[in-house]
Homo-oligomer: A and B are copies of this chain.
Amino acid sequence: MTQYQKHCALPGRLVMVGFGSIGQGVLPLILRHIEIDRQNITIITADERGHGEADYFGIKFVKEPLTRQNYRAMLEPLLSKGDFLLNLSVDVSSTALVELCAERGALYLDTCIEPWPGGYTDPNLSPSMRSNYALREQALDLRGKLGTNAPTAVLTHGANPGLVSHFVKQALLNIAEDTGRDVTEVPAGREAWAKLAHDLGVKVIHIAERDTQVSSIPKKRGEFVNTWSIDGFISEGCQPAELGWGTHEATFPPDGIRHDFGCQAGIILNRPGVTQRVRTWTPMEGPFHGFLITHSEALSIPDYLTVRDADGKAIYRPTCHYAYHPCDDAVKSIHEFAGKNFVQQETQRLLMKEIIDGVDELGVLLAGHEKGAYWFGSQLTCSEARQLVEFNSATSLQVTVAALSGMIWAIENPDRGIVEADDMDFQRCLDICMPYLGPVVGAYTDWTPLDGRNKLFVEDVDTSDPWQFKNIRVV
């Protein structure tokens, strides 16, 4: 048997809430790399999925959905100082669990800020209040309330959001080095990173992902197929398209909406993310259209990288957003879903064992600097992922190893209060993740969103600056 390095020990208990594709994928990694007694682990989840795996590992499996009403009663007995709550569910309020953990002295990590059911699609809420901007601001408010040395609660630390914030830092360092800057000293703290991004002239950061995984079973009519949470994807896909709004942008989108509260790092568009495509690029795929699905890293990264003048006015911020090409079956699923006016399909299929081929090419594209555009990220094939860790696909492994690294960082730094990936030690997290990401590559490209435009039809483009969102947006 291979001996894996134990990165740290968790003497307390671990409660896993939710045991879908990410929960199932992370469990073997936790057992492999964190010193923990299996008997101290409890899974609380809403359905039978993964029950066989839990039995296989000898982990307690409780099928009892958490609700606004029962979550305290359910979780309080399982959490006290030194314990860990790993939230990998959908439809359970992240902030509710964070507050509870702070009260109990327990550590916390999730991979998405989730509201209670309906929070994403409550027609009584304005688009602004249904955005990730609002969810993030609520969590940041809580940070203030709980204090900066409350028990560590890591927000949104999967692949994206999560790992990609660390990729951005590594990419900034790589571009700095490749453009002849002195990088012997790694920027210490937010201001220094923002200064570096500003200095490099990075205008745009895409989380550019192309998932090429394919299944042996064709998508059926009335079925939503994806490589990770279908409920999660549909929820965020129905939220407003959302992006961090850069200081270089010359034209405000006609349907753009600013928020009347919070950090002002981002805006939303008056439409669901699943209906908005954007032009982006990855090394294996080349140029493609991704969907502008909202994600909290589209806010945390540009917020982190904002440079302000003495009056607090933002003088530099990159535009930042997700540009997601999900697996082909999900592209079809989205088309069907939009065609039914966003009434969710009756059935869903989360691709796991039936994936027969493909790569999840997930990284960050930093553009507008002197070398054009630079993509940095992971090109993990599904078959490599499976060889590396059982119960995973390429998509899940990028998330689960990032969650693992966040857990380890939290255990090692137990009193940091609420943090986002951007606030954490990127090098430590990357070190833990690297062995599980397949080829991690950096690639420059001279591609811009103006390539091949204005050929057969006159298009309204801004030729003075390729990296205007106006050029990136597909209309």
CB contact list, A432-462 vs B, under 8 A: 451-453, 455-458
| Residues on B with beta carbons closer than 8 Å to the beta carbon of A342 | 452, 455-456
Give the docked Cα–Cα distance between A336 and B277 (Å). 12
Q: Cβ of A1 < 8 Å from any Cβ of B?
A: no
Q: How many copies does the complex hold?
A: 2
| Residues on B with beta carbons closer than 8 Å to the beta carbon of A287 | 339-341
Chain B residue at minimum C-beta to C-beta distance from A210: B221
Q: Cβ of A416 < 8 Å from any Cβ of B?
A: no
Q: Are B339 and A457 in contact (CB under 8 A)?
A: no
Give the docked Cα–Cα distance between A217 and B272 (Å). 32
| Residues on B with beta carbons closer than 8 Å to the beta carbon of A221 | 212, 285
Q: Are A456 and B219 in contact (CB under 8 A)?
A: no
**Choice from B218, B328, B451 contacting A214 with Cβ under 8 Å:** B218
CB contact list, A280-314 vs B, under 8 A: 285-289
Q: Cβ of A46 < 8 Å from any Cβ of B?
A: no
Give the docked Cα–Cα distance between A214 and B215 (Å). 13
| Residues on B with beta carbons closer than 8 Å to the beta carbon of A338 | 289, 474
| Residues on B with beta carbons closer than 8 Å to the beta carbon of A428 | none
Q: Cβ of A331 < 8 Å from any Cβ of B?
A: yes
Q: Are A452 and B328 in contact (CB under 8 A)?
A: no
| Residues on B with beta carbons closer than 8 Å to the beta carbon of A240 | 457
Q: Cβ of A318 < 8 Å from any Cβ of B?
A: no
Interface centre among A216, A289, A457, A458, by most chain B C-beta atoms within 10 angstroms, is A457
Q: Cβ of A343 < 8 Å from any Cβ of B?
A: yes
Residue total for A at the interface (Cβ-Cβ under 8 A):
45
| Residues on B with beta carbons closer than 8 Å to the beta carbon of A285 | 221
Q: Are B272 and A340 in contact (CB under 8 A)?
A: no
| Residues on B with beta carbons closer than 8 Å to the beta carbon of A259 | none
Give the docked Cα–Cα distance between A357 and B220 (Å). 10
Q: Are A219 and B289 in contact (CB under 8 A)?
A: no
| Residues on B with beta carbons closer than 8 Å to the beta carbon of A339 | 279, 287-289, 325
Give the docked Cα–Cα distance between A331 and B335 (Å). 8
| Residues on B with beta carbons closer than 8 Å to the beta carbon of A214 | 218-219
0/1 string, A350-373, CB within 8 A of B gives 1 = 000000110000000000000000
Q: Cβ of A180 < 8 Å from any Cβ of B?
A: no
A154 to chain B, nearest CB (A): 30
**Choice from B272, B336, B356, B453 contacting A457 with Cβ under 8 Å:** B272
Q: Cβ of A33 < 8 Å from any Cβ of B?
A: no
| Residues on B with beta carbons closer than 8 Å to the beta carbon of A356 | 218
Give the docked Cα–Cα distance between A215 and B215 (Å). 12
Q: Cβ of A271 < 8 Å from any Cβ of B?
A: yes
Q: Can you spell out 8 A-B residue pairs with CB atoms less than 8 angstroms apart?
A: A216-B218, A218-B328, A240-B457, A271-B457, A275-B474, A331-B335, A340-B452, A342-B455
5 tightest Cβ-Cβ pairs between the two chains A and B = A341-B452, A288-B339, A289-B339, A214-B218, A328-B332
User: Other than the known A127-B457, A214-B218, A275-B474, what 14 A-B pairs have Cβ atoms closer than 8 Å?
Assistant: A127-B456, A212-B221, A216-B218, A238-B456, A272-B456, A279-B339, A286-B340, A287-B339, A288-B336, A288-B339, A328-B332, A331-B331, A340-B452, A341-B451
